[in-house]
Chain A
Amino acid sequence: DAKTTQPTSMDCAEGRAANLPCNHSTISGNEYVYWYRQIHSQGPQYIIHGLKNNETNEMASLIITEDRKSSTLILPHATLRDTAVYYCIVINTGTASKLTFGTGTRLQVTL
């Protein structure tokens, strides 16, 4: 199973774009990149996922490099409520039912 690497923490000013990187250099062709976040003491929240094309929804954009070895989650206009731990995970058919989160990136949005 592909492992992911994320920075431990990042800061972002409110109103600016937050760009959260993730490395998944051992990703296989049938594996999806998923992003979740967890605000303190709440359940994890699904954000977005993708295979190889860039994706956008009402919460965020996901940019996946052409070789699929890394991706970036973009929160276009970060707010204080986006302060959370962000998890990048790689999922295939065998692991889709067994989510495993690493340590993630702690994003602190400041005034």
Chain B
Amino acid sequence: ETGVTQTPRHLVMGMTNKKSLKCEQHLGHNAMYWYKQSAKKPLELMFVYNFKEQTENNSVPSRFSPECPNSSHLFLHLHTLQPEDSALYLCASSQRQGAQETQYFGPGTRLLVL
């Protein structure tokens, strides 16, 4: 247990569905992140939130919409996804403190888009 939880752990959705991924951190951190990990590819940063404000959007398509209502919760809203969006979606959190900032990851949501 890393103190970062993600739900659901597995999700299958059609291309016309709307779904949301949820992340919660119990570490008192002030930064949260969404990453995408596709099969056989390196980790890709998607979004960064600092103190609930989005500070990084790594050219992510608008069919992915993040939401950070407070510093403990992070959502990723999904709509009209494509099969190539199938991947492991990982949430992480950290306490911003320069180069010694350690990110702690959740277990991920395995998404399959049909």
Residues of A within 8 A of B (CB): 30-32, 34, 41-46, 49, 91-93, 96-103
Contact = CB atoms under 8 A, between A and B. Distances in A.
A32 B42 contact: no
Given A93-B98, A96-B101, 11 more contacts: A41-B88, A41-B110, A43-B105, A43-B106, A46-B2, A49-B102, A91-B99, A97-B50, A97-B94, A98-B45, A99-B92
17 contacts: A32-B99, A41-B88, A43-B2, A43-B4, A43-B90, A43-B105, A44-B43, A44-B90, A45-B105, A49-B100, A91-B99, A93-B98, A96-B98, A96-B101, A98-B48, A100-B42, A101-B42
The DSSP consensus for interface residues of chain B is: strand
A34 B94 contact: no
B103 interface: yes
The DSSP consensus for interface residues of chain A is: loop
Ranked nearest first, the 10 interchain pairs of A and B with the lowest CB-CB distance are: A43-B105, A96-B101, A93-B98, A101-B43, A93-B99, A44-B105, A43-B108, A92-B99, A43-B107, A32-B99
